[in-house]
Chains A and B, each alone.
Chain A
Amino acid sequence: QKEVEQNSGPLSVPEGAIASLNCTYSDRVSQSFFWYRQYSGKSPELIMSIYSNGDKEDGRFTAQLNKASQYVSLLIRDSQPSDSATYLCAVKKSGGYNKLIFGAGTRLAVHP
């Protein structure tokens, strides 16, 4: 079992719709969770971080964390074609310095 799992996609949504990206993790000592966006040929760019159960909103993005279910998700409202990218979920364990464990990413395609 991989430590961090994501559906590879592609997830295809129409422009203006809500895109829902999901991530599960296996280690209960995980304490910090991050979503990065990566355009093709580019490096990962941090979108959001979340540390506590519940929702965290930033503009069109909402991260949701459920530690009991070991599940973290990212919602993108009013999806735009410019949101088309691979979204990487990353997890940091307690006591693991800043080592990040990444999922393989979900490819999102927003079509006009």
Chain B
Amino acid sequence: DAGVTQSPTHLIKTRGQQVTLRCSPKSGHDTVSWYQQALGQGPQFIFQYYEEEERQRGNFPDRFSGHQFPNYSSELNVNALLLGDSALYLCASSLTSGETQYFGPGTRLLVL
């Protein structure tokens, strides 16, 4: 049973560029949440997707957008990258009826 997968594992971008991160949820899961974890901090909720719709959003600007596909996989897009966007980006999958979220390995983004 495949767990949550994310790609790429590492990414280096420069300020102003755009980035797309990808996530495939655990088999059978239909809900995908994205989190940003800065160094030394806990993960911060960005948004959650269910049935291809953004269902809930955290306190992140519109530069952060996402998408969910019919197979439940998801993308996180960040436009106009800032140095402060450097972080570990985590995808978590769950059942919409379930309580527990399982995290993928994350994508480490460095903005120079």
Contacts and interface: CB of A to CB of B under 8 A. Distances in A.
Interface of A: 4, 32, 34, 36, 42-46, 49, 51, 88, 90, 92, 96-105
B96 to A, nearest CB: 8
Given A44-B90, A98-B31, A104 B42 contact: yes
Contacts of B106: 42-43
Nearest to B57: A99
B43 A99 contact: no
Interface residues of B, number: 28
B48 A105 contact: no
Contacts of B70: none
Contact of B103 (A44, A92, A101): A44
Contacts of B102: 46
Interface string B94-107: 10101111111110
A36 B42 CA distance: 11
Given A98-B31, A100-B43, 15 more contacts: A42-B105, A43-B88, A44-B43, A46-B100, A49-B100, A88-B43, A97-B31, A97-B55, A97-B56, A97-B96, A98-B96, A100-B45, A101-B45, A102-B43, A102-B44
A46 B100 CA distance: 8
A45 B103 contact: yes
A98 B42 contact: no
B84 interface: no
A104 B104 CA distance: 19
